[in-house]
Amino acid sequence: MSLEARLKHRIGSFSLDLSLHLREGITVLFGPSGAGKSMTLRLLGGLLRLQEGYIRAGDRLLAGNGGVHLPPEKRNMGMVFQDLALFPHCTVEENVLFGVASGAKRKQAREWITRMELQGMEKRYPHELSGGQRQRVALARALAPEPSILLMDEPFSALDGPLKSRMRREVKRLQREMGIPLLYVTHSVEDIGALADQVLFVREGRDVAFIEASRLWNGHASPDIWNVLGWGTLLEGKIEHFQGATWFALGNQRLLLSSHGVFPGEARIFLPPHKMHLLDPHRPVEPELQGGVLRGILRDAAYLRGRCTLHVQVEDTVVEADLPEEHCLRFSLEEGTPVLLGIRPEAVVVMPRGREKLGVSGKRKGAVCVKDSLVLARDRMQEKLGERQEMIEKERVVAEPLGVEEAIGDPSPYKDFPLLVGEEKLMEIRFRNGRGQAFTSCPVRWKGTLGEIFSLSLEEEKNRGLLIASLNALAAEFGWTEKTVHCKDGSPDLCARTIAKHLMETFGNDHVVGIVGYQPAFVKRVAETFGPERVRVTDLNPKNVGYQRFGVEIWHGERDLDRLAKECSLALVTGSALSNGSFDIVWDTLKEHQVQAFCFGTTIAGIAALLEYPRLCFEAS
Amino acid sequence: MGEAGWISLKVLGIDLPLLFLLGTGAGWFLGRHSFRGRELVILLLLLPVALPPAVVGLYILLLAEKVVWFQKLGILFSFPGAALAPLIPAFPLMMQASLSAFEGVPLSLEQAARMLGHSPWGVFCKVTFPLVWRQLAAGLALAGVRCLGDFGTTLMVAGNIPGKTQTLPLYIYGEVEALNLSGAHGAAILLTLFGMGSLLFVRSMRSRGWNHVS
């Protein structure tokens, strides 16, 4: 059984807007107080009527779709409440059997009393039990009716440490035995470590990131996730070039950055606490930490399980450092002591503002990735231009969004191309004879030189669209790539059919093909060629997610990306992902799972040529 | 006194079920719903207990004078008037007890029962009512005492007509006016015993062990 939901709900000034997909295993829903965690559980359980979106358990629609609302008693879900909600007027036995109809099932349900080590307490009332016993009654009561999904709302928050650990182990054991999806709501980091198979991070009613727990602890967590976890330091300031190097200016201090892919301008950087070093002021700074030194005043030091956490006032901000205890014990660390912190330039995570915002807004969600192919392509283009650089500084160009007819003509019978439904526009720039185009959801009219476009901040999606179109125009002009102009009328369909055929002929039909970014012609033709059961599609548009298209269910673009990567051996990635900044996350995830991935579409033409990404294009192939 | 006692019993027989239904219903509704103006509604419903009975009686008389359909009920100076008049000052006691009782049941208990497969009515019968019935019973006993002891409102609305509207308190008043203190005394003892019995009942309805646990 799996549970899939898109939840949109507003109460007063708080609005919840998140998607989730529960599979077998324990999903921890993590977020600070007021993030909407409990509201999520209540919506899933049917205790609140969903205003917008849907909830689906397996093939069953539980809520959504224009007013469907299955009451809680018909959802077959178990819930353990934060206050446990044991019925005070019922004995242990009555509590456990409360949700079980009389008959043979009651006998089975009674076994839960033994299973949860509650024998001998059957006739006791909840107030006669210890905290741990009450927890076990609540668990037994929720599990006795054999629910298909279990929801738990911070049930162990009131327990002391050892009891909490024991209960966590017990929950994990039970979940493994029963094999049902479990959604566990918490704001405790320890719960993640002890329980989670996957973690959904929420903040201010939005899903910030979804990640396998094993990846979380292996350095795959983005600064966004760390931010929700309340770890590390996010700093706002300016990146500047100085003495041939790239620095982050923090008040009167500077922090050396790895110059690769980092450009001057407003920026946010993230300092991972475990990458910080505590330096001895009487010794010379190690070469690899040169330039990465921050001077500050110690605010506090806390020691736990062989680690020490320091909070150091650096200029007007507090920097967190998490170090092995022995590093701290070497110094006399008292509040108010001046300290030196160090960090290697490559350990500093530069977060372009726009992309950080993408994670928060919910419009385009995704773990923030520092690597940006667009930035790399811009650098490569500048290298390739060499002496021709002057051209792009002087010659003025015009960028403008094209009308639908001008862009793709009449793509009948398809009616749901993103361009046709107003989700995005095709923007074009002409440079001499070269025409470059880019799909973007933030089209702009713009006049100026390509040089100016090259210096625009890529934090904003509209600037990314401009740069992509520019790179395509330049690549077309210099003959580095073909097909930088979108094909029209029936050609996109023909292209899709040819690519599907090409994949089949090249790789055979025993592959599962992933399509990242819903493009109707591609989904239709690939599904026709390989069979809908061998096609997986993800998309970020909520109007598509969760719906069947050409016999294929559209999955969530961020949340289900790992799933797609795991299940597919071939993948097609739309170049439009470059515009919203999700391309690198997609590409890296596919590569990590050794998926043979290809880009398609006009948008990525120039970048694919510059960075040598495999691209499939009917006319270009 | 026998006649007055019988009329008082009939008044109780009519008022107790009405008090239970109306007070429980109002308390449940107000305890489980929040809406704009809720506090004002509660205040207005509780107001009769804070007003002198003569004022309540006067309002009822004014209502009967101004509102045609109320006149048609024909309750003034009749047994229906004697039965319904004490309801008004007694109702707030029942409603307050019921409101406190329902507010004291954590919503999560009802939600847990729904998640365990029970319908809203099933939840009320199996969870909510078992948790509140003692407080409802105590509230009903207090409201009943208030009802039986009502003097001012009944006198204003129904008068003091022996055999028709004269309840035990009015009988005592009549006997005292006639300087027959010993006659009044018997009725007074009866009412005192009833009051004591009710209070004993209220005390016995105090929380059981599990009610002390939040």
Residue A307: its H or E element? strand A307-314
Most confident of A18-22, A346-350, A454-458, B115-119: B115-119
Q: Based on C-alpha coordinates, what's the Rg of chain A? A: 28
Residue limits of CATH 3.40.50.11590 in chain A: 491-616
ipTM of the complex: 0.84
Q: Is A72 on the interface with B (CB under 8 A)?
A: yes
User: How many other CB atoms sit within 10 Å of the CB of residue B177?
Assistant: 10
- Mutation site for A-interface testing, chosen from B116, B129, B133, B135 by largest number of A Cβ within 10 Å: B116
- Residues in Cβ contact with A408 at an 8 Å cutoff, skipping those fewer than 6 apart: A417, A419, A426, A486, A487, A488, A489, A492
Inter-chain CB proximity A127 and B119 less than 8 Å: no
Tell me the residues of B at the A interface, defined by beta carbons under 8 Å apart: 106, 108-109, 111-119, 126-127, 130-131, 209-213
Range of the domain at B6: 2-208
Could you tell me if residue B68 is inside a domain?
yes
Which residues does A120 contact at the CB level (< 8 Å), separation at least 6?
A: none
Helix (H) or strand (E) holding A493: helix A491-507
> According to the model, what pLDDT value does residue A470 have?
92
Q: What CATH architecture applies to the domain A227-351?
A: Beta Barrel (2.40)
User: What mean pLDDT, rounded, does chain B reach?
Assistant: 90
Nearest beta carbon to residue B210 from set A78, A82, A88: A88
CA dist., res. A444 & res. A455, Å (int): 17
b/e code B181-196 from CB counts within 10 Å (16+ = b): eebbeebbebbeebee
Task: Kindly state the DSSP code that residue A318 receives in the 8-state scheme.
Answer: E
Which range, A135-144, A218-227, A349-358, B69-78, is most confident?
A135-144
Residues of chain A with CATH 3.40.50.300: 3-215
Instruction: Tell me: pLDDT of B92 over 80.
Output: yes
| A residues 100-159 lying closer than 8 A (beta carbon) to B | 101, 125-128, 141-142, 145
Residue B80 included in any domain: yes
Query: Cβ–Cβ of B111/A78 closer than 8 Å?
Result: no
Contact (Cβ atoms closer than 8 angstroms) between residue A540 and residue A482:
no
Closest Cα partner for A194 from A222, A215, A171?
A171
* Helix/strand/coil for A349: strand
Q: For residue B100, is it within any domain?
A: yes
Q: Which residues contact residue A138 at a Cβ distance below 8 angstroms, ignoring those fewer than 6 apart?
A: A80, A81, A84, A85, A86, A155
Strand order in the sheet with A60-64: A68-69, A60-64, A52-57, A3-11, A14-22, A206-212, A198-203, A25-30, A181-186, A149-153, A77-80
Model pLDDT, residue A178: 87
CA angle A162-A165-A167, nearest 5°?
A: 110
Contact flag B115-A47 (C-beta cutoff 8 Å)? yes
Taking each helix axis as running N to C, give the angle between helix B87-103 and helix B129-148, from 0 to 180 degrees, rounded to the nearest 10.
160
Q: Model confidence over B129-150: pLDDT tens digits?
A: 999 999 999 999 999 999 999 9
Q: Give pLDDT, residue A218.
A: 60
Express the helix, strand and coil content of chain A in percent, nearest 5 each: 35, 30, 35
CA atoms of A518 and A385, how far apart (whole Å): 35
> Quick one: average pLDDT of A530-548?
86
Full 3-state SS string of A4-38: EEEEEEEECCEEEEEEEEECCEEEEEECCCCCCHH
Radius of gyration of chain B (CA): 20
Spell out which residues of chain B touch residue A92, defining contact as CB-CB under 8 Å: none
Q: Is residue B82 part of a domain?
A: yes
| Contact yes or no for A591/A618 (Cβ under 8 A) | no
Q: How far apart are CA A102 and CA A491, in angstroms?
A: 64
- In the CATH hierarchy, which fold is given to the domain comprising A491-616? Rossmann fold (3.40.50)
Burial annotation A338-356 (CB, 10 A radius, 16+ → b, else e) = ebbbbbbbebbbbbbbbbb
Q: Decide if pLDDT at A7 tops 50.
A: yes
| 3 state SS of A242 | strand
User: Does B24 reside within a domain?
Assistant: yes
B62, B65, B67, B68 alpha-carbon torsion, rounded to 10°: 160
Residue with token string 């018997």: B186
Question: Poorest-confidence range of A156-170, A598-612, B106-120?
Answer: A156-170
What architecture (CATH level 2) is domain A3-215?
A: 3-Layer(aba) Sandwich (3.40)
Whether A77 sits inside 8 A of B114 (CB atoms) is no
| Mean pLDDT over the full length of chain A | 84
Q: How far apart are CA A257 and CA A246, in angstroms?
A: 6
With beta carbons less than 8 A apart as the criterion, state whether A16 and A48 touch. Answer: no
Tell me if B214 is assigned to some domain: no
Q: How many helices and strands in chain A, by DSSP H and E?
A: 21, 32
Number of compact structural domains in chain B:
1
pLDDT band per the 50, 70, 90 thresholds, residue A366: very low
Identify the closest residue of chain B to A78 by CA–CA distance: B115
Q: Which two tokens stand for residue B212?
A: 């002390």
DSSP secondary structure, A424-445, as one string: -EEEEEEETTEEEEEEESS---
At a CB cut-off of 8 Å and minimum separation 6, what does A454 contact?
Answer: A378, A382, A392, A467, A470
Q: What is the pLDDT of residues A247-259, one digit of tens each?
A: 888 888 889 887 6
Q: What is the CATH number of the domain that holds B126?
A: 1.10.3720.10
Separation CA A522–CA A519 (nearest Å)? 6
Question: Hey, are the CB atoms on B108 and A81 less than 8 Å from each other?
Answer: yes
For residue A97, what pLDDT band results from cuts at 50, 70 and 90? very high
- Confidence bin at B47 (pLDDT 50/70/90): very high
Domain with CATH 2.40.50.100 in chain A: 227-351
Task: Count the alpha carbons within 13 Å of B100 in the hemisphere toward its beta carbon.
Answer: 11
Rounded to the nearest angstrom, the minimum Cα separation between B180 and chain A is: 52
Residue B213 lies in a domain: no
pLDDT-derived band at A351 (thresholds 50, 70, 90) equals low
